[in-house]
Amino acid sequence: MKKIFIATLFSLVIFSAKATVHVVLVGQNGLTFSPSVLNVFVGDTIRFKWVNGFHTTTSVNIPSSAETWDVNITSSKTEYDYIVKTEGEYAYECSPHVGAGMVGSFTATQSVTGISDQYATIKESVQINPNPAADQTMLTFNSNIAFKGSLRIYNNNGNMISEEKLKVGKGENSININTSSLKSGLYYVNLLNKEDAFLVMKMIRQ
């Protein structure tokens, strides 16, 4: 049994069984997109999530056959999903703050058979029990591959509050999660392989 003690609790898992949702926090540390660089597969979703300020996400240099976008990301419109349908290099900016260096990019490639779905078993089998919990809970899932990754915890303002290295084994995995030191409220968890999140979850602590 693998144990990682992290102050958090999972209440809702957000994912697609055949694609990854990559969360980009907008305005997390001032005038930034975070992360500002991503590697994705065609079919994945880039989810721009507002943290602070008034910003846009605006495509500037993208593949000729790809759909452009220009969307305000504000306290009244907090999320925008862009589904990647064309491989190639994508660059985007915040129009009001491009002069301050608020830019981002991602590279999209066609997935090799089985690569984009290599975490599908985790996504389909993940369970949290008990949920909700006061002091601790257990995350369990099956994986058809072994890999090294990490578990990052963000608060509702988009600030990362913890990161733990993770070794996932092939087969059944159980992670004991200590929530006793976490204040009541809403949090977000990113489960990453190396640098890219393939599972994004909301978390509630009683």
Q: Which residues are annotated as a binding site for Cu cation?
A: 94, 97, 102
Joined tokens for residue 186:
């809403």
Phi, psi of 2 (to 5 degrees): -100, 130
Known binding residues are 94, 97, 102
Is the Cβ–Cβ distance between 184 and 171 less than 8 Å?
no
Residue type (1 letter), 64: S
The C-alpha atoms of residue 199 and residue 22 are separated, in whole angstroms, by 8
- Gap between the Cα atoms of 204 and 121, Å rounded: 24
Q: Kind and range of the H or E element at 123?
A: helix 120-125
182: Cβ contacts below 8 Å, ≥ 6 apart: 7, 8, 9, 205
> What percentage of the chain's residues is helix, strand, coil (to nearest 5)?
5, 55, 40
Give residue for tokens 């190396």.
194
